[in-house]
């Protein structure tokens, strides 16, 4: 009788164990099938902003999202206390980016420098996937820049001479949740250059990275290498910038220091006259805000 009772208790516990096992085996069954169909999900959030600092990133607004960005670059820090370390001399650019589709976006902007208008298209060729079937995200970028300064004494400066083009291939990889790197070969075509010693077609390589330090804060840096011998009539430096990105909901705040005051590609890549060594460093920021402009879908 006692043995029987012990046996009963034993069986009872075994049965309990089996109920538990059943639960996890059900889940395991689902996990096996989830793994089997897990699609190659595209990687998101390679960078926080559509610009890393000055350089275009692989990011673009999603379909029907309008992104408004204000960029400021103050004067050089080495101007001293009289000019409040450059804060008295600000130049700015503001621009809009709009997602026509999830892969194609269009942007327009206006800069203080040369009263320049810019317009561009950015198209996503491939998207990096979680399973690394595609290891990188690649965008193609085409921009047009128009100098609208008045040159009263030079009426022959027609729009043809005021225009510059750029074409870029933007290649980026999110290596981990914290580290993203980007390479951007750039071609710039100036319809007009300062002297015959300067080349109309310029080639450069942009390099940039992001290191995320908390969920909403990251460090960024970019270096735009312009091989020498292309711009000769004035001393041009390679543009180097470093900063932090702070993300709060629909806003991205980017604070940085840079030796470039220009904020559009032909300017900061090929017309950077400031040098880090001489202390020609500008403090600046980009602030962007995303707006959803899609018609509200009817709530059920």
Partner 1 sequence: MLKNTLLALALLVICNAGRTQLYITTNGFAGFYSKTPLEDIKAENNQVFAVVDVAKKSLAFSMLLNGFVFPKELMQEHFNENYVESDKYPKATFTGAYTDDVDLGKGQEVTLHVNGTLTLHGVSKPVATTATLHLTGGVLTGTASLQLVPADFNIAIPGLVKEKIASKIDVHITINCKPRNK
Residue ranges in contact with partner 1 by CB under 8 A: 1, 4-5, 7-8, 11-12, 14-15, 18-19, 22-24, 26-27, 29-31, 33-34, 37-38, 41, 44-45, 62-63, 65, 102, 177, 215-216, 248-250, 290, 292, 294, 297, 299
Considering the complex, state which of residue 24 and residue 159 has its C-beta at the smaller distance from partner 1.
24
Considering the complex, state which of residue 23 and residue 88 has its C-beta at the smaller distance from partner 1.
23
Instruction: Take residue 287 and report the two structure tokens written for it.
Output: 């602030």
Concatenate the DSSP letters of all residues of 229-265 into one string: TS--SS----EEEEEEEEEETTEEEEEEEES----SH
Q: How far is the CB of 78 from partner 1 (least distance, A)?
A: 36
Considering the complex, state which of residue 43 and residue 270 has its C-beta at the smaller distance from partner 1.
43
Q: How far is the CB of 134 from partner 1 (least distance, A)?
A: 16
Considering the complex, state which of residue 20 and residue 154 has its C-beta at the smaller distance from partner 1.
20
Considering the complex, state which of residue 72 and residue 212 has its C-beta at the smaller distance from partner 1.
212
198-225: string of b/e by CB count within 10 Å (b at 16+)?
A: bbeebebebbbbbebeeeeebebbbebe
Contact between 209 and 186 (Cβ < 8 Å): no
36-52: string of b/e by CB count within 10 Å (b at 16+)?
A: eeeeeeebeebbbbbbb
Considering the complex, state which of residue 88 and residue 131 has its C-beta at the smaller distance from partner 1.
131
Q: How far is the CB of 82 from partner 1 (least distance, A)?
A: 37
Ramachandran region, residue 146 (left: φ > 0; alpha: ψ -120 to 50; beta: rest) = beta
| Cα–Cα distance for residue pair 203/118, rounded to 1 Å | 19
Q: How far is the CB of 191 from partner 1 (least distance, A)?
A: 37
Ramachandran region, residue 171 (left: φ > 0; alpha: ψ -120 to 50; beta: rest) = beta
Q: Which residue has the tokens 């805000």?
A: 289
Q: How far is the CB of 98 from partner 1 (least distance, A)?
A: 13
Instruction: Take residue 35 and report the two structure tokens written for it.
Output: 């793994």
Considering the complex, state which of residue 115 and residue 251 has its C-beta at the smaller distance from partner 1.
251
Q: How far is the CB of 67 from partner 1 (least distance, A)?
A: 9
Q: How far is the CB of 33 from partner 1 (least distance, A)?
A: 6
């Amino acid at each position: 009788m006692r043995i029987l009772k012990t046996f009963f208790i034993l069986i009872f516990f075994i049965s309990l164990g089996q109920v538990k096992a059943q639960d996890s085996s059900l889940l395991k069954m689902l996990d096996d099938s989830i793994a089997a169909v897990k699609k190659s999900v595209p990687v998101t959030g390679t960078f926080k902003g559509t610009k890393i600092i000055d350089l275009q990133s692989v990011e673009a607004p999603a379909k029907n999202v309008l992104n408004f960005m204000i960029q400021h670059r103050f004067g050089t820090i080495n101007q001293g206390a009289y000019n409040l370390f450059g804060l008295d001399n600000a130049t700015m650019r503001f621009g809009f980016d709009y997602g026509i589709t999830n892969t194609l976006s269009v942007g327009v902007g206006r800069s203080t420098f040369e009263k320049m208008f810019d317009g561009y298209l950015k198209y996503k060729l491939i998207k990096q996937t979680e399973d690394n079937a595609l290891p990188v995200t690649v965008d193609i970028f085409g921009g047009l820049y128009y100098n609208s300064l008045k040159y009263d004494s030079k009426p022959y400066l027609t729009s043809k001479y005021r225009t510059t083009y750029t074409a870029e291939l933007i290649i980026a990889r999110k290596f981990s949740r914290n580290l993203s790197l980007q390479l951007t070969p750039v071609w710039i075509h100036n319809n007009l250059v300062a002297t015959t010693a300067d080349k109309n077609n310029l080639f450069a390589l942009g390099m940039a990275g992001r290191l995320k330090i908390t969920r909403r804060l990251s460090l960024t840096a970019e270096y735009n290498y312009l091989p020498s011998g292309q711009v000769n009539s004035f001393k041009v430096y390679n543009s180097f910038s470093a900063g932090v990105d702070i993300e709060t909901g629909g806003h991205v705040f980017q604070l940085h220091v840079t030796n470039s005051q220009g904020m559009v590609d032909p300017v900061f890549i090929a017309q950077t006259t400031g040098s880090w060594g001489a202390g020609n460093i500008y403090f600046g920021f980009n602030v962007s805000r995303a707006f959803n402009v899609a018609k509200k879908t009817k709530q059920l």
